[in-house]
Amino acid sequence: MSNVKQISVFVDNRPNQAAGVMRIIKESGVNLRALSLADTADFGIIRLIANDTEKAVEILKEASFAVNVTEVLAISIPDTPGQLSRVLDVLGQDNVNVEYMYSFLGTSDRAVSFVIRVDDNALASESLNRGGIIQLTENDIAEM
């Protein structure tokens, strides 16, 4: 199984909160590989994949941000019509529930990468392997 560590940072839903998180990360020298921002009326969740998860978590906690680390899957698929549908079909055949996903840039203009949060990483990983879908490791992402 190729789990990837995702950092979730919880911030108030008000101006400059995301900017503060990005400033701290910039000053630390950590490089982000993927990012998603979701909000509710009161707070936001910034989800990050970084080239140095431990350092990012440490500096964010030192700055008093509420931080959580979650294991997710990351995949790379050809950048052609229907590929994401194929991935979701593969996962659906094994009743894997996709909780959320977001895309990020990889190293090739012929492929697109996705972070996928599912209800069962082990089953999803097996399904993706059987479906011939490339799973990325933390090293793969760090080297992008």
Check whether residue 35 and residue 96 sit in a common domain: no
User: What is the structure's pLDDT at 89?
Assistant: 98
Q: What is the pTM of this model?
A: 0.91
Query: Cα separation of 7 and 10, whole Å?
Result: 10
* pLDDT tens digits for range 55-67: 999 999 999 999 9
User: What is the structure's pLDDT at 1?
Assistant: 64
Q: State the CATH number of the domain containing residue 62.
A: 3.30.2130.10
Which regions of the chain are under pLDDT 70? 1, 107-108
Report which of 77, 114, 117 is spatially closest to residue 97, judged by C-alpha positions. Answer: 117
Check whether residue 39 and residue 91 sit in a common domain: no
Question: Which of these three, 71, 106, 125, is where a domain ends?
Answer: 71
User: What is the structure's pLDDT at 13?
Assistant: 87
Check whether residue 125 and residue 136 sit in a common domain: yes
Check whether residue 89 and residue 108 sit in a common domain: yes
* 86 contacts 68 by C-beta, under 8 angstroms: no
What range does the domain containing 9 cover? 3-71
* 112 contacts 76 by C-beta, under 8 angstroms: yes
Measure CA 108 to chain center: 18
Check whether residue 34 and residue 8 sit in a common domain: yes
User: What is the structure's pLDDT at 42?
Assistant: 85
